[in-house]
Amino acid sequence: MVRAALVTATSMALTGAVVAHAYLLKHQFYPTVVYLTKSSPSMAVLYIQAFVLVFLLGKIMRKVFFGQLRAAEMEHLIERSWYAVTETCLAFTVFRDDFSPRFVALFTLLLFLKCFHWLAEDRVDFMERSPNISWVFHLRVLSLLGLLAVMDFLFVNHACHSIITRGASVQLVFGFEYAILLTMILTTFIKYVLHTVDLQSENPWDNKAVYMLYTELFTGFIKVLLYIAFMTIMIKVHTFPLFAIRPMYLAMRQFKKAVTDAIMSRRAIRNMNTLYPDATPEDLQASDNVCIICREEMVTGAKKLPCNHIFHSSCLRSWFQRQQTCPTCRMDVLRASNNNQAQAPAPAPAPAAPANAPAAPAPNVAPGMLPGFPPGVFPFWGPFPAVPPPAAAAPPAAPAAADAPPSSTDTTQAAGTSQPTSSAADAATSSAAAAAPGSAIPGFPFSFPPPPFPAAPWLPMPPPPPFVSSMPPPPPSLSRLTEEELRELEAEGRRGLEARLQCLQNIHTLLDAAMLNIHHYLSTVATLAPPRPEGGAAEAGGANREAASAGAESPATERDSSTSDPVGGATVSSQPADSTSSASDAERKENWDEGAADDENGEPSAAELRRRRLRKLETSPSSPTSPSPPPDN
Amino acid sequence: MAGTALKRLMAEYKHDDPISPSVCSPGPANEENFFEWEALIMGPEDTCFEGGVFPAILSFPSDYPLSPPKMRFTCDMFHPNIYPDGRVCISILHAPGDDPMGYESSAERWSPVQSVEKILLSVVSMLAEPNDESGANVDASKMWREDREQFYKLAQKIVRKSLGL
């Protein structure tokens, strides 16, 4: 302070001395002025004096418009001034060609006005912190804002005019600088209005924060646009404007922050309105009725979080803008609300499954996914009429198993809600397993009808499906699970599905292999058998029909197997039956063929006869030569 | 109606809770500016800081209580969790976003339900039990860990200094 006064006094004295000296030399006004402007040392003194005068003017204006500056304001001002000075020096380097006293004066003026803009901004921000705002404050802020706005506007106007009439020059920089200052004034003014309105009203103004946010967003956008335009024009006309990088970066960062804030705020408001219930008067009475964020009583507009903590909705909203946790217990509210959402659809499929259940056995088709398959293709999936007695003997198991397929198809259709449904299916099967421990393998998700015949030892049974053990136990309650747990459960369900598909694929491969074997067998038989005339084959068919009339049972099974063969050997469970029956089928054909041949042409060659006999001995030593029905299975 | 931050600060100021005996009269330095508080912290008993009276300044942001205040001791301090310039480094004063030492869990961070009183109590317990894992003052941390005797001596010196002896 003392130093500033000393500098001022010295400068004054020096100026006085220089002027007096010049006047004493020249004795007249005009020569004195000429002398002063010609003499470099006196001009230096005068320039310094000019700066001192500007400084003094600033002080006076500050006194008029702000009174005493607060420490924070002062600190802020000095910090920003340093940056501004360095940037101005950088700007001088860009415009060194038209460097002149006038140019320096213009930059000084810009800096001077900038300082007042910053101060005005700080002052308006201070409104929110000050307990009592006097009318003097309003008067000062309003007059200052008006004055600055007019000055900015005039300078922008002047810059535009000069650019249009005289082409691009330094005025470009000034034009943009003042335009940006103008947006700053606009922001400050809107904030001032918002604060004033807030001060006038008795109740807290809930939406003020939102309005502030959108003001920031809007002016930030304008600023960014201005800077981008400035950059492009400067690069085209002059050079790269190094001095504008920092403010441009700051403006962009601010704008980005405003955008993020606006998004977060919108999300918070939406969550607020949709997810959390209003606190009822009973809730308020049960708690101590004070919003712990603002320490005020809650009368209306209180919200209750899933963790039962109650806050003002406006307080909560501004907190959620920063962080999505309960202020008191730090519970993640978004996760909690997700859990609620996951819980909601969970009960839905449960009633749906029984509704589907009666329909499932009726069409006699594995429901949903693969409707084109004939019955018995997927023995794992629910009951069908051909299920042997053990499953039928356990009636509770059948409906429960019938539940399973629809819900499992649900699982594939709605991946999002897969867990609840598959767990429902799980629960159903576990109850089925409990009801009929003999018929269903415990823990196996679907009731598994035991194979209707002793498993043929030469045919490899598919290994037990891998998902038997990986199926999780049904969770106690989905609502209490965390996000990770739910996700894991979902993944578990998905793994189960994949395993099931894998299992089906294995079955398919096995069936293909079986078919190949059968074809191979048939072809070997065909090569062994002598080539027969066409009539013989027709006869064979006739004989077949005769045999059908003779033996009631075996042709039925035979035809059954021959119909199911083209479909791909049916299922694993019926596979052995098919292969054996087809084997015996071929054998029988042989026999009948033989019989028919004997009947028809009576005299086969001797070699032929011997071969036939040999084969007969080989294949069925026990079976008689007559076309009697072969042992069933 | 004034801003939320101001109202909350006024409410905290008026609220005459029986504050811990270790803490003395937190309140605004002047009635014009409610965003700068002064507090006197008594050195907790049975520690090396016993008997000391340490003045500190709390400066509140304009969005208090959504953001935490800053606390700075205005006297000389030598403590693992106090920067050499007097700033206090404890987790309760850190917003969940920033973590200067990179290890705090968000559960112990600032939240709007905290208050000046709780901050001061945390600071008192911090004086009693320094956390040398997050050294704001590395020299003090090192000394606390390796040369407790020397640390006690220095602390006593600081206590005497704080009392103007």
Ranking A77-81, A154-158, A192-196, A286-290 by mean pLDDT, the lowest is A286-290
**Mean pLDDT within A616-624:** 52
Contact check, Cβ <8 Å, B8/A327: no
A174 burial (CB, 10 Å; 0-12 / 13-18 / 19+) is buried
| Helix, strand, or coil (residue B57) | strand
What pLDDT score was predicted for residue A181?
Answer: 93
Distance CA A549, CA B94 (A): 94
Nearest CA in chain A to B35: A129
What pLDDT score was predicted for residue A610?
Answer: 66
Among residues of chain A, what percentage have pLDDT more than 70? 59
| Helix, strand, or coil (residue A250) | helix
What pLDDT score was predicted for residue A204?
Answer: 65
Q: For residue A202, which residues of chain B lie inside 8 Å, CB to CB?
A: 1
Which ranges of A436-472 does DSSP label H, i.e. alpha helix? Answer: 467-470
**Mean pLDDT within A427-442:** 42
What pLDDT score was predicted for residue A338?
Answer: 59
Tell me the residues of chain A between 130 and 149 that have a Cβ less than 8 Å away from chain B. 130-131
Answer with the residue of higher pLDDT: B92 or B26. Answer: B92
What pLDDT score was predicted for residue A613?
Answer: 63
Contact check, Cβ <8 Å, B11/A330: no
From A203, A205, A295, residue closest to B8, measured CB to CB: A295
Contact check, Cβ <8 Å, A295/B113: no
Contacts of A146 (CB under 8 A, 6+ apart): none
What pLDDT score was predicted for residue A221?
Answer: 94
Nearest CA in chain A to B112: A293
Nearest CA in chain B to A198: B1
Distance CA A490, CA A422 (A): 9
Q: Does position A323 have pLDDT exceeding 80, yes or no? A: no
At A589-606, the pLDDT tens digits run 444 444 444 444 545 566
Contact check, Cβ <8 Å, B65/A294: yes
What pLDDT score was predicted for residue A391?
Answer: 41
Contact check, Cβ <8 Å, A294/B11: yes
The amino acid that residue A109 corresponds to is L
What pLDDT score was predicted for residue A142?
Answer: 92
Which residue in A388, A487, A490 sits closest to A447, CA to CA?
A388
What pLDDT score was predicted for residue B78?
Answer: 87
The confidence band for B98, taking pLDDT boundaries of 50, 70 and 90, is low
**Mean pLDDT within A504-528:** 86
Residue A294 touches chain B, beta carbons under 8 Å? yes
Q: Does position B161 have pLDDT exceeding 90, yes or no? A: no
Distance CA B132, CA A249 (A): 38
Tell me the residues of chain A between 445 and 504 that have a Cβ less than 8 Å away from chain B. none
| Cβ proximity of B49 and B155 under 8 Å | yes
Q: Does position A321 have pLDDT exceeding 90, yes or no? A: no
**Mean pLDDT within A52-65:** 89
Q: For residue B113, which residues of chain A lie inside 8 Å, CB to CB?
A: 292-293, 327-328
| Average pLDDT of chain A to the nearest whole number | 69
Tokens matching residue A375? 């019955």
What pLDDT score was predicted for residue A387?
Answer: 41
Distance CA B60, CA B64 (A): 6
Contact check, Cβ <8 Å, A129/B1: no
Q: Does position B38 have pLDDT exceeding 90, yes or no? A: no
Contact check, Cβ <8 Å, A204/B34: no
Nearest CA in chain B to A133: B2
Contact check, Cβ <8 Å, B7/A130: no
The confidence band for A447, taking pLDDT boundaries of 50, 70 and 90, is very low
Q: How far is A311 from chain B (nearest CA, A)?
A: 11
What pLDDT score was predicted for residue A533?
Answer: 47
Q: What ipTM was estimated for this complex?
A: 0.79
DSSP assignment of B43-95, as one string? PPTTSTTTT-EEEEEEE--TTTTTS--EEEESS----TTB-TTSBB--GGGS-
Which residue in A122, A151, A123, A149 sits closest to A136, CA to CA?
A123
The confidence band for A236, taking pLDDT boundaries of 50, 70 and 90, is confident
Q: For residue A204, which residues of chain B lie inside 8 Å, CB to CB?
A: 1, 4, 7
Phi-psi region of A2 (alpha: psi -120 to 50; beta: other; left: phi over 0): alpha
What pLDDT score was predicted for residue A386?
Answer: 43
Q: Does position B67 have pLDDT exceeding 60, yes or no? A: yes
Residue A351 touches chain B, beta carbons under 8 Å? no
Q: Does position A188 have pLDDT exceeding 90, yes or no? A: yes
Residue A296 touches chain B, beta carbons under 8 Å? yes
DSSP assignment of A294-342, as one string? TTEE--SSEEE-TTS-EEEHHHHHHHHTT--B-TTT--BHHHHHHHHHH
Q: For residue A130, which residues of chain B lie inside 8 Å, CB to CB?
A: 2, 6, 32
From A70, A318, A327, residue closest to B113, measured CB to CB: A327
Contact check, Cβ <8 Å, A319/B66: yes
Contact check, Cβ <8 Å, A327/B112: yes
**Mean pLDDT within B4-8:** 78
A564 burial (CB, 10 Å; 0-12 / 13-18 / 19+) is buried
Is B89 tagged catalytic?
A: yes
From B1, B10, B107, residue closest to A330, measured CB to CB: B107
Contact check, Cβ <8 Å, B62/A125: yes
Distance CA A443, CA A471 (A): 8
Residue A315 touches chain B, beta carbons under 8 Å? yes
A403 burial (CB, 10 Å; 0-12 / 13-18 / 19+) is buried
Nearest CA in chain A to B13: A295
Q: Does position A253 have pLDDT exceeding 90, yes or no? A: yes
pTM exceeds cut of 0.80: no
Q: Does position A469 have pLDDT exceeding 50, yes or no? A: no
Q: Does position A155 have pLDDT exceeding 80, yes or no? A: yes
Tokens matching residue B52? 């000391």
What pLDDT score was predicted for residue A530?
Answer: 55
Q: Does position A449 have pLDDT exceeding 60, yes or no? A: no
Ranking A175-184, A272-281, B11-20, B90-99 by mean pLDDT, the lowest is B11-20
Contact check, Cβ <8 Å, B1/A328: no
**Mean pLDDT within A537-548:** 45
Among B66, B92, B99, the strongest candidate for a mutation testing the A interface, having the largest count of A CBs within 10 A, is B66
Per domain, the residue ranges of chain B are: 4-163
Which ranges of B15-147 does DSSP label H, i.e. alpha helix? Answer: 116-128, 138-146
Q: Which CATH number fits domain B4-163: 3.10.110.10, 1.10.3720.10, 3.40.50.170, 3.40.640.10?
A: 3.10.110.10
Q: Does position B48 have pLDDT exceeding 90, yes or no? A: no
Contact check, Cβ <8 Å, A129/B62: yes
| Cβ proximity of B103 and B89 under 8 Å | no
| Cβ proximity of B162 and B48 under 8 Å | no
Q: Does position A506 have pLDDT exceeding 80, yes or no? A: yes
Contact check, Cβ <8 Å, A70/B33: yes
Among A75, A121, A126, A128, the strongest candidate for a mutation testing the B interface, having the largest count of B CBs within 10 A, is A128
Ranking A260-269, A464-473, A527-536 by mean pLDDT, the lowest is A464-473
The count of residues in chain A is 633
Catalytic one of B24, B48, B75, B89: B89
Contact check, Cβ <8 Å, B2/A130: yes
The confidence band for A145, taking pLDDT boundaries of 50, 70 and 90, is very high
Tell me the residues of chain A between 69 and 88 that have a Cβ less than 8 Å away from chain B. 70
What pLDDT score was predicted for residue A426?
Answer: 45
Tokens matching residue B14? 């008026």
Q: How far is B31 from chain A (nearest CA, A)?
A: 9
Among B8, B34, B92, B111, the strongest candidate for a mutation testing the A interface, having the largest count of A CBs within 10 A, is B111
The confidence band for A207, taking pLDDT boundaries of 50, 70 and 90, is confident
Nearest CA in chain A to B62: A129
Distance CA A249, CA B78 (A): 39
Q: How far is B84 from chain A (nearest CA, A)?
A: 21
Distance CA A312, CA A329 (A): 16
- DSSP type of residue A383: -
The confidence band for A117, taking pLDDT boundaries of 50, 70 and 90, is very high
What pLDDT score was predicted for residue A186?
Answer: 93
Q: Per CB distance under 8 Å, which residues of B are interface residues toward A?
A: 1-8, 10-12, 15, 31-35, 62-63, 65-66, 95-97, 106-107, 111-113
Q: Does position A409 have pLDDT exceeding 50, yes or no? A: no
Tokens matching residue A266? 């919108």
Residue A525: phi and psi, rounded to 5, are -60, -45
Nearest CA in chain B to A200: B1
Q: Does position A416 have pLDDT exceeding 50, yes or no? A: no
Among A323, A326, A329, A331, the strongest candidate for a mutation testing the B interface, having the largest count of B CBs within 10 A, is A323
| Cβ proximity of A385 and A364 under 8 Å | yes
| Interface A:B, Cβ pairs < 8 A | 78
Distance CA A449, CA A440 (A): 7
Q: Does position B126 have pLDDT exceeding 90, yes or no? A: no
